[in-house]
Amino acid sequence: MLSELDFGTYIAFFLPGVLGLYALIPFSKRVADLFTQVVTKDTQVGASFLLLVGGLVVGTVISGLRAVWLDRVLVWHKPKFNFRGLAAKDTRAAYKDAIANTYRFYQFYGNMFLALGFYVVVRYVLVGVDYHNEKQLAGLDVVVLLGLFLQAEEFLLGQNTQPANYDLARVRLETSLFGMRPVFR
């Protein structure tokens, strides 16, 4: 059973990774050929498997950059967690559900923000596509980048009223519009 590899994990790492890999097409003929094989003619499993692995690898790198850069931009203080509360099975299950239902969405939004930002820089700065000829697409890129940043901020800081010391023995899940959110009693 692959309980840790849920849908949230895939969207948090794979989709941003595929976008980051796609941004590398102008610099790598192999990456361009891989996407061509997957999208057009090749129905073999090999190209799709390579895209899956490549997407996960690039997504993991993007996630590392997010953790180093974006997390520090959004969070000025690092909360202190009391992990002793995770000894109870129910509390540990609630904690894992909270991660799966909130933190994975933050990872997705933050990772997609960085991947799309990388794509925009590659396309308009490094490759030199004239954004004046693509005003609608460039405008959409900016709007989506802003939306991804704001969503990442909301999911990460949506509970910024909580104390700096989190006692995980007191966590419970609360239903919200976007799924389950951890609430500390």
- 36-47 pLDDT, tens digit per residue, is 888 876 566 778
For residue 48, tell me if it sits in a domain. yes
The answer to whether residue 1 is domain-embedded is no
Q: Is residue 73 part of a domain?
A: yes
- Beta-carbon contacts of 181 under 8 Å, excluding residues fewer than 6 positions away, are 98, 101, 102, 158, 159, 173, 174, 175
Q: With CA atoms as reference, report the closest residue to 10 among 51, 48, 49, 56.
A: 56
**pLDDT at 183 > cutoff 70:** no
What is the total count of domains within the chain?
Answer: 1
Does residue 111 form part of some domain? yes
What pLDDT does 157 receive? Answer: 72
CB 39 within 8 A of CB 135: no
pLDDT for residue 131: 83
**Element spanning 31, H or E:** helix 29-36
Residue 2 included in any domain: no
Say how many C-beta atoms besides its own lie within 10 A of residue 26's C-beta: 14
- Report the predicted TM-score, pTM, of the whole model to 2 decimal places: 0.74
- Write out the E strands in the chain: 80-82, 165-167, 171-176, 179-184
pLDDT digits (tens, 9 = 90+) for 80-114: 666 777 777 777 777 777 777 777 888 899 999 99
Residue 65 lies in a domain: yes
Q: Which of 181, 170, 167 is closest to 83 using CA atoms? A: 167
pLDDT given at position 84: 74
| pLDDT of res. 28 | 92
Residue 120 has pLDDT above 70, yes or no: yes
Mean pLDDT (whole number) for 59-65: 93
Q: Domain residues for 80?
A: 7-184
Q: 113 and 88 in contact (C-beta within 8 Å)?
A: no
What tens digit of pLDDT does each residue of 152-172 get? 888 777 654 344 444 455 555
pLDDT above 90 as % of the chain:
30
Mean residue pLDDT of the chain comes to 78
Do the domain assignments include residue 103?
yes
Give me the mean pLDDT over the 7-36 stretch.
90
pLDDT at 24: 94
Q: Indicate whether 104 belongs to any domain.
A: yes
